[in-house]
């Protein structure tokens, strides 16, 4: 056990002190801080921090609609849009728009029914959203004028446009409501993304670390001082602690930065992401499925890493593992919108997909307890099987040198592990 802790602490400390870890962690933390303060940064670079209003010139050829449009904008304007009546010619105002004296030009005419027609001019229509706002305001004016001309009173019009009374009643009392599913969707998405990144980053780190030690012949000394299985699991847990350190730093700084702006975006952010009012069991399941998923893929990564002796061969051999986690991630993203589909139900029992997909079902549906227990059992059984086979492959694979990179070396590693005994 003493050798286990020595290898574990060496793996953890050597990684946490490395320049690559410190630089990547610092850069990510700066990105998190920058994103949390993005509104402040935008205001700082915008100038004096005051929002400038969009000024739109209006040529009202009918002479009847400018005042009505101005009143409508004053009541509904949340874009700081200002309209200015001009008496110059259309060509002169277009020239003023091109010279950026105005942000746009709106020409209002009338049709044969005395209803408004709008023509909008701007330097860049694709980058401008105010034309849609003005169009909506003119549309409301057209409806109001049209109803008056047709003799429809305001009370009748409000009755017509009032929402249809519609009530949805859930008959299955055990099923989760749409509100509960929305609350759980955020924590499910966060867990999926964190597990996806952890497997890709830290799984590859384990495989690469084993390959580096083999290429430097350090492995022969390590294997002679500690058993292969001790060395394998010490390395897996050491990298797991490294990942936990990094993830806690990211989550801690992110939570602090968002909480510090609670009045502005904090409360809305946590509510939008579904990180409020969730049952504590969801967080417990998130931790359990994350740990099981990590150990599943980390054991596989250590086994694959022991089959190569050159760093260049690592990517080729771990590619199937990365493809597995990518498939699981994309299925889970699909399942966020359709958690009750047959595909999600079936794949939630496949061990390499279960950490993501069964957690998705647990977070968004009321899954029978026997299904959760079965998924746990399959996961733990697969991890134990991978650990048993992986230990044998690891003990033989760490003694294999030369060009490698295919799964044909699996049999060779098993034979070497038997000879070692």
Whether residue 68 lies inside any domain: the answer is yes
- pLDDT at 154 > cutoff 50: yes
Are 331 and 348 within 8 A, CB to CB? no
HEC profile of 228-278 = HHHHHHHHHHHHHHHHHHHHHHHHHHHHHHHHHCHHHHHHHHHHHCCCCCC
Does one domain contain both 290 and 407?
yes
118, 133, 159: which is the final residue of a domain?
A: 159
| 42-56, 58-72, 134-148, 236-250: segment of lowest average pLDDT | 42-56
Long-range contacts of 143-150 (CB under 8 A, 24+ apart): 145/114, 145/115, 145/116, 146/113, 146/115, 149/113, 149/114
Q: Which of 63-77, 124-138, 351-365, 397-411 tops mean pLDDT?
A: 351-365
Rounded mean pLDDT of the chain? 76
* Tokens 């867990």 -> residue: 191
The per-residue pLDDT for 378 is: 93
19 pLDDT band, cuts 50/70/90, is confident
Does one domain contain both 227 and 149?
no
In a 10 Å sphere around its CB, with 0-12 CB exposed, 13-18 middle and 19+ buried, how is residue 142 labelled?
middle
48 pLDDT band, cuts 50/70/90, is very low
Whether residue 35 lies inside any domain: the answer is no
* Alpha carbons 192 and 306: distance in angstroms, whole number: 28
**Closest by Cα among 251, 242, 199, 310 to 18:** 242
* Alpha carbons 338 and 404: distance in angstroms, whole number: 42
- pLDDT at 366 > cutoff 50: yes
In a 10 Å sphere around its CB, with 0-12 CB exposed, 13-18 middle and 19+ buried, how is residue 26 labelled?
exposed
370 pLDDT band, cuts 50/70/90, is very high
> Average of pLDDT values for 157-175?
70
| 97-111, 123-137, 145-159, 212-226: segment of lowest average pLDDT | 212-226
In a 10 Å sphere around its CB, with 0-12 CB exposed, 13-18 middle and 19+ buried, how is residue 404 labelled?
buried
Q: Of residues 289 and 304, which shows the higher confidence score? A: 289
Beta bridge partners of 108: 60, 118
* Alpha carbons 323 and 209: distance in angstroms, whole number: 20
> Average of pLDDT values for 194-210?
82
Whether residue 23 lies inside any domain: the answer is no
| 6-15, 45-54, 134-143, 164-173: segment of lowest average pLDDT | 45-54
377 pLDDT band, cuts 50/70/90, is very high
49 pLDDT band, cuts 50/70/90, is very low
Does one domain contain both 216 and 324?
yes
Q: Of residues 109 and 42, which shows the higher confidence score? A: 109
Domain that holds residue 370: 176-420
In a 10 Å sphere around its CB, with 0-12 CB exposed, 13-18 middle and 19+ buried, how is residue 329 labelled?
buried
Whether residue 11 lies inside any domain: the answer is no
| 160-164, 211-215, 247-251: segment of lowest average pLDDT | 211-215
Tokens of 284: 């417990």
Measure the N-to-C terminal CA separation of the chain; round to a whole number of Å.
Answer: 21
327 pLDDT band, cuts 50/70/90, is very high
Give the tens place of pLDDT for each residue, 406-419: 556 656 656 655 55
* Alpha carbons 328 and 348: distance in angstroms, whole number: 9
Does one domain contain both 379 and 288?
yes
In a 10 Å sphere around its CB, with 0-12 CB exposed, 13-18 middle and 19+ buried, how is residue 25 labelled?
middle
For 119, which DSSP code?
A: E
Does one domain contain both 121 and 220?
no
Whether residue 40 lies inside any domain: the answer is no
Whether residue 43 lies inside any domain: the answer is no
Torsion, Cα of 336, 341, 343, 349 (10° steps): 80
Does one domain contain both 97 and 220?
no
Q: Which of 19-28, 162-171, 249-258 tops mean pLDDT?
A: 19-28
* Alpha carbons 64 and 52: distance in angstroms, whole number: 28
Whether residue 42 lies inside any domain: the answer is no
- Percent of the chain topping pLDDT 90: 8
User: Which residues, in sequence order, are CB contacts of 165 under 8 Å at separation 6+?
Assistant: none
> Average of pLDDT values for 129-148?
77
Give the tens place of pLDDT for each residue, 249-272: 887 887 787 677 655 554 555 555
347 pLDDT band, cuts 50/70/90, is very high
* Alpha carbons 378 and 375: distance in angstroms, whole number: 5
DSSP labels, 180-228: HHHHHHHHHHHHHHHHHHHIIIIIHHHHHHHHHHHHTTHHHHHHHHS-H
* Alpha carbons 108 and 99: distance in angstroms, whole number: 22
DSSP labels, 364-400: HS---HHHHHHHHHHHHHHHHHHHHHHHHHHHHHTT-
Does one domain contain both 211 and 153?
no
125, 159, 193: which is the final residue of a domain?
A: 159
The per-residue pLDDT for 371 is: 92
127, 159, 191: which is the final residue of a domain?
A: 159
What CATH number corresponds to the domain at position 152? 3.40.190.10
Does one domain contain both 154 and 190?
no
* Alpha carbons 307 and 226: distance in angstroms, whole number: 19
- pLDDT at 307 > cutoff 60: yes
129 pLDDT band, cuts 50/70/90, is low
Tokens of 341: 């589909």
**Closest by Cα among 160, 137, 135, 133 to 147:** 160
Does one domain contain both 150 and 201?
no
- pLDDT at 105 > cutoff 60: yes
- Percent of the chain topping pLDDT 70: 72
Does one domain contain both 128 and 205?
no
Residues in the chain: 421
- As for how many domains the chain has, the answer is 2
Does one domain contain both 250 and 384?
yes
Beta pairing class for 81-85 and 116-121: unpaired
Are 242 and 198 within 8 A, CB to CB? no
Does one domain contain both 94 and 186?
no
Q: Of residues 409 and 318, which shows the higher confidence score? A: 318
Whether residue 12 lies inside any domain: the answer is no
Are 324 and 296 within 8 A, CB to CB? no
pTM of the complete model beyond 0.95: no
């Amino acid at each position: 056990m003493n050798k286990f802790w020595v290898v574990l602490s060496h793996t953890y400390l050597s990684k946490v002190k490395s320049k690559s870890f410190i630089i990547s962690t610092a850069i990510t933390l700066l990105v998190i801080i920058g994103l949390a303060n993005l509104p402040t940064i935008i205001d700082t670079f915008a100038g004096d921090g005051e929002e400038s209003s969009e000024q739109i010139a209006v040529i009202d050829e009918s002479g009847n609609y400018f005042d009505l449009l101005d009143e409508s904008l004053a009541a509904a304007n949340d874009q700081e849009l200002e309209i200015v009546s001009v008496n110059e010619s259309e060509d002169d105002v277009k020239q003023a728009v091109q010279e950026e004296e105005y942000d746009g030009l709106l020409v209002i005419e009338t049709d044969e029914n005395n209803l408004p027609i709008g023509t909008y001019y701007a330097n860049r229509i694709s980058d401008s959203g105010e034309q849609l706002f003005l169009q909506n305001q003119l549309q409301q004016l057209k409806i109001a004028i049209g109803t008056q001309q047709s003799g429809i009173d305001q009370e009748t019009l409000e009755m017509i446009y009032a929402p249809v009374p519609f009530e949805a009643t859930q008959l299955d009392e055990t099923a989760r409501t749409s509100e509960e599913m929305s609350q759980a969707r955020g924590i499910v998405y966060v867990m999926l993304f964190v597990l996806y990144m952890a497997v890709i980053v830290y799984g590859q780190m384990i495989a690469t670390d084993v390959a580096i030690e083999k290429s430097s012949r350090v492995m022969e000394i390590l294997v002679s001082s500690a058993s292969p299985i001790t060395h394998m699991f010490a390395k897996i847990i050491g990298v797991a602690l490294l990942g936990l350190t990094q993830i806690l730093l990211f989550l801690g700084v992110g939570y602090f930065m968002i909480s510090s702006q609670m009045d502005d975006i904090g409360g809305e952010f946590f509510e939008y992401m579904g990180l409020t009012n969730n049952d504590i069991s969801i967080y417990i399941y998130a931790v359990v499925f994350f740990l099981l998923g990590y150990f599943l893929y980390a054991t596989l990564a250590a086994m694959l890493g022991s089959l190569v002796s050159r760093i260049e061969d690592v990517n080729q051999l771990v590619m199937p593992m990365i493809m597995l986690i990518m498939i699981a991630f994309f299925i889970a993203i699909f399942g966020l919108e359709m958690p009750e589909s047959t595909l999600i139900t079936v794949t939630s029992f496949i061990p390499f997909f279960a950490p993501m997909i069964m957690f998705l079902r647990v977070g968004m549906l009321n899954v029978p307890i026997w299904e959760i227990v079965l998924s746990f059992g399959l996961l733990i059984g697969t991890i134990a099987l991978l650990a048993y086979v992986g230990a044998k492959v690891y003990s033989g694979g760490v003694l294999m040198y030369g060009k490698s990179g295919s799964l044909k070396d699996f049999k060779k590693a098993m034979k070497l592990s038997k000879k070692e005994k």
